[in-house]
Amino acid sequence: MTTRARIEQLESQMLCPEATLSRNTRGRLHPLDPCDLRTEFQRDRDRILHCKAFRRLKHKTQMLLSPTGDHYRTRLTHTMEVSQIARTIARALALNEDLIEAIALGHDLGHTPFGHSGERTMDAWLPGGFEHARQSLRVVDLLENDGAGLNLCYEVRDGILNHSGGGLPQTPEGCVVNLSDRIAYINHDIDDAVRCGILQAQDLPEDCLAVLGRTHGQRIDTMIRDVINASTTLPRIQQSSTVGQAMDALRQFLFARVYCITIDEFEERKTAHVMNHLLAYYLTHEQELPAAHQGRNGGSREPSPASEAGLHQPIIPTDNSSLHQAPPANNLHQRVCDHVAGMTDGYALSDFERLFLPMPLH
């Protein structure tokens, strides 16, 4: 018996009936010979962990734009916190931790530089709009591995696509990541906001603290325990109404008091200025795009006007039944978006400086 087969056997013995077994995956876009050491979901976790887009997360804004302190979250540390919270819930509910971890590590690969400020700029610029969950799926399907993609399992791709927004993942593991993402950012954003002086601890709404707890650790513990205790009717992953309402109220408080002011209007205009100039430049200098963004993987460098409207659609429809459809060709706007969205904060600034600021003579 191979190591993989032994792990698959343990999964069937130890996980709950509603858990997603790795041997029952709906497969990949391109079939692979099985690994004798790792299950399919373990392979996906490793592919994400070792990809370039994952490494770039350490230099992408989470909440604060280019913070100078050593202890503020980045997109990478946020991702690791989501993974830890989700695995704690998964272990208590006897769900598949490997699938959970793969989804959690990949869920934010499509975020732009400059956090949500950059995402707003991209959304206004890209015909059809921009949404980071769809872009995360583009990263793993088309952009990583020099344009070949990571060829992940259906269940991982489904969880990445539906980790936020209106759609819900088709697996309980994906639903755990969906909730864990919210638990993580609500709590660590409070921590960062207090650390940088945007908030004082006493500013937090008293009715929320009475339910959730008065410290960072107490609030996370309350939310995690509540998901575990409320999700007794698997595969439904949920919160109790009391904790869920308190958490939603705390989230609304953060939108009003933190998210709208972490970058002031002047700084927002500057990030939009950088992003818009980079987008406009590469739209008229396609030859300077990296090779992976110059029409590979079925993309057309000069899409016909008749087909252009359809090319602005996301790589896959949000309809989960269509996850295995071949992606449409990519137009130039989308390929420029792929390049700029993949930049770190620092790379975007240095590229803007290279292209638009005069260099000193030596």
**How many Å apart are CA 333 and CA 299, to the nearest integer?**
12
Instruction: Please report whether residue 57 resides in a domain.
Output: yes
Tell me: do 190 and 329 sit in the same domain: no
**How many Å apart are CA 70 and CA 129, to the nearest integer?**
34
Among the candidates 213, 239, 263, a domain finishes at: 263
Q: What is the pLDDT of residues 322-345, one digit of tens each?
A: 565 444 546 999 999 999 999 999
| Cα dist from 120 to 111, 166, 282, 309, whole Å | 11, 18, 19, 21
For position 227, which CATH number holds? 1.10.3210.10
Please, which residues have CB within 8 angstroms of residue 199's CB and are 6 or more apart in sequence?
190, 193, 257, 258
Cα 219 from chain centre: 23
**How many Å apart are CA 150 and CA 28, to the nearest integer?**
10
Please, which residues have CB within 8 angstroms of residue 346's CB and are 6 or more apart in sequence?
59
Range of the domain at 295: 266-356
Instruction: Please report whether residue 25 resides in a domain.
Output: no
For 292-305, letters b (16+ CB in 10 Å) and e give bbbbbeebbeebee
Tell me: do 157 and 234 sit in the same domain: yes
* Cβ proximity of 312 and 128 under 8 Å: yes
Instruction: Please report whether residue 252 resides in a domain.
Output: yes
Tell me: do 238 and 174 sit in the same domain: yes
Tell me: do 300 and 178 sit in the same domain: no
Per-residue pLDDT tens listing for the chain (362 residues): 999 999 999 999 999 999 999 999 999 999 999 999 999 999 999 999 999 999 999 999 876 565 566 667 889 999 999 999 999 999 999 999 999 999 999 999 999 999 888 999 999 999 999 999 999 999 999 999 988 999 999 999 999 999 987 789 999 999 999 999 999 999 998 988 888 788 888 999 999 999 999 999 999 999 999 999 999 899 999 999 999 999 999 999 998 888 766 556 777 889 999 999 999 999 999 999 998 787 654 343 333 333 223 322 333 434 444 565 444 546 999 999 999 999 999 999 999 999 999 977 76
Residue with tokens 């997109």: 75
Cα 341-119-176 angle, rounded to 5 deg: 95
Tell me: do 59 and 145 sit in the same domain: yes
Instruction: Please report whether residue 346 resides in a domain.
Output: yes
Instruction: Please report whether residue 362 resides in a domain.
Output: no
Instruction: Please report whether residue 19 resides in a domain.
Output: no
Partners of 100 in beta bridges: none
Among the candidates 241, 263, 285, a domain finishes at: 263
Orientation of helix 265-284 relative to helix 345-356, angle to 10°: 60
Tell me: do 210 and 305 sit in the same domain: no
Tell me: do 132 and 246 sit in the same domain: yes
Cα 359 from chain centre: 36
Tell me: do 299 and 238 sit in the same domain: no
Q: Could you tell me how many residues make up the chain?
A: 362
Instruction: Please report whether residue 7 resides in a domain.
Output: no
Partners of 28 in beta bridges: 153
Tell me: do 257 and 286 sit in the same domain: no
Among the candidates 247, 263, 279, a domain finishes at: 263
Tell me: do 188 and 321 sit in the same domain: no
Tell me: do 247 and 289 sit in the same domain: no
**How many Å apart are CA 275 and CA 269, to the nearest integer?**
10
| Cα dist from 195 to 38, 114, 186, 208, 257, whole Å | 41, 20, 14, 20, 15
pLDDT of residue 9: 98
Q: What is the pLDDT of residues 119-161, one digit of tens each?
A: 999 999 999 999 999 999 999 999 999 889 999 999 999 999 9
Q: Exposed, middle or buried: residue 216 (CB in 10 Å: 0-12, 13-18, 19+)?
A: middle
pLDDT of residue 165: 75
Instruction: Please report whether residue 88 resides in a domain.
Output: yes
Q: How many domains does the chain have?
A: 2
Tell me: do 145 and 198 sit in the same domain: yes
